[in-house]
Amino acid sequence: SPVLQKLEERLVCSICLELFRVPVTLPCRHNFCK
13 pLDDT higher than 90: yes
19 and 2 in contact (C-beta within 8 Å)?
no
| Domain segments of the chain as ranges | 2-33
pLDDT in tens, 15-29: 999 999 999 999 999
Q: What is the CATH number of domain 2-33?
A: 3.30.40.10
Report the pLDDT value the prediction gives residue 10, as an integer from 0 to 100. 87
- Specify the 3-state DSSP secondary structure of 32: strand
**pTM of this prediction?**
0.62
Cα(25)–Cα(2) distance, integer angstroms: 24
